[in-house]
């Protein structure tokens, strides 16, 4: 699950930085020193999605930890089938 989280983070950071760097030339000719508009729009969106993802991972880890403590099998939403194949279950 953590590998999926890292992959999502890398994709998100790439999109975030790509958006910023592609909008920088549009604001390069201005005389003010304000950050690009993409920073002002994308940063709050990126932050909210990152915090939502963190909260989702925390909740899933707690729920699946409780299920594992009871001896139940619970497949993760994204990589559950892959884990079963790797463990040959």
Q: How many CB atoms lie within 10 A of CB 38?
A: 19
Q: How far apart are CA 89 and CA 81, in angstroms?
A: 10
- pLDDT 10s digits, 24-38: 776 666 666 666 666
pTM score, whole prediction: 0.61
- pLDDT 10s digits, 37-85: 667 787 888 889 889 888 988 898 899 889 989 998 777 776 777 777 8
The structural domains of the chain, with segments of one domain joined by +, span: 2-27+35-87
**Which DSSP string do the residues of 36-87 spell out, in sequence order?**
PHHHHHHHHHHHHHHHHHHHHHHHHHHHHHHHHHTT-----TTTHHHHHHHH
Q: Are 16 and 46 in contact (CB under 8 A)?
A: yes
Q: Are 16 and 49 in contact (CB under 8 A)?
A: no
């Amino acid at each position: 699950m953590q590998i999926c989280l890292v992959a999502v983070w890398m994709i998100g950071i790439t999109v975030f930085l790509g958006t910023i760097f592609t909008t920088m030339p549009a604001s390069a000719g201005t005389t003010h020193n304000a950050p690009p508009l993409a920073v002002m729009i994308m940063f709050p969106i990126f932050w909210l999605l990152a915090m939502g993802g963190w909260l989702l991972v925390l909740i899933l880890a707690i729920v699946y930890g409780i299920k594992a403590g009871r001896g139940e099998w619970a497949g993760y939403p994204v990589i559950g089938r892959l884990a079963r194949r790797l463990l040959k279950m």
